[in-house]
Structure 1
Amino acid sequence: MFGIVPFRNHKLQERGSLFDIENMFNSLFNDSFIGFTGGNPIRADIKENDKEFIVEAEIPGVTKEDIKLDLRDDTLTIAVEQNQESNEERDNYIRKERRYGSFSRSFYVENVKNEDVSAKYENGILTIVLPKSETKKVKNRIEIQ
């Protein structure tokens, strides 16, 4: 079984002040250049066959060193921490921007062979292969004595 664990990424904003206009312009110019615009920054496709689950997560613009994977207590977590700096020179001005941030996405997985899980990051796509283990028979009905 595969499920999504709820995740919320709240941005703290000052409301009802002169900073509202500044925040609006900052989000207009900063967020759109990063490649992640609103919503969850990790989009994932999940496939299943008889042997395994395959997760394909879109995480463009990061290196594999920025990505951390964790599989614990039937929860797969994909976490990204960015520390990015860009320099741009044009005509008479220089623009230098830094981007620091982190985000994550978690999925509930069960009946997975943790020791055989593999992952590969290529062209902005993280592919995680989760081999299935023997299904555990869970007794749902309880006899009353």
Structure 2
Amino acid sequence: MFGIVPFRNNKINQRGGWLDMDSIFSDFFNDASLGFSGAGAIKADIKENDREYVVEAEVPGARKEDIKLELKDDRLTISVERSEETEEERSNYIRRERRYGSASRSFFIENVKQEDVTAKYENGILSIVLPKSETRKTNSRIEIQ
């Protein structure tokens, strides 16, 4: 035929059973080790009805104190910064581990009554209700000279 070979990212076969150091370090220091995973790390659903926008964001394992919300210039930003330290002492054995991670996500949401925005965090889900403003920004056409 055309000599088409299926692509497989099989690092073991490519290197005869040995993995390169770059892949070992990238696997070890990925976002999942920090408690967040994937691009953007904060997954969210945004719903809209006649009265409001509702944002539901997944922030598992975070504490309410670790989450920061900001609404500025029609942009809602959800930020999470997490740090965790573990210290364990036994006879002749000391272990201390640290984990730090941060993630943020921004959304453009216009015509919001900022003073009436509410947020609730429960079971790893951050729910934000953004009531719509009665006054809408009008679009204007700009003539080019």
TM-score by length of 2: 0.70
Q: Distance in 1 between matches of 2:54 and 2:41?
A: 19
Match in the other structure for 2:24: 25
Paired residue secondary structure (1:41): coil
Tell me the percent identity.
65
Structure 1 outlier segments of 4+, above 6 Å? none
Q: Distance in 1 between matches of 2:68 and 2:116?
A: 17
Match in the other structure for 2:36: 36
Paired residue secondary structure (1:71): strand
Q: Which amino acid aligns with 1:120?
A: K
- 5+ residue gaps, structure 1, are 1-19
Q: How does 1:85-124 map to 2 (within 5 A)?
A: 85-86=85-86, 96-124=96-124
Q: Distance in 2 between matches of 1:34 and 1:142?
A: 48
Match in the other structure for 2:132: 132
Q: Does 1 or 2 have the higher relative contact order (CA < 8 Å, sep 6+)?
A: 1
Q: Distance in 2 between matches of 1:33 and 1:139?
A: 46
Larger radius of gyration: 2
Match in the other structure for 2:5: none
Q: Which amino acid aligns with 2:72?
A: R
The CA RMSD over aligned residues, in Å, is 2.7
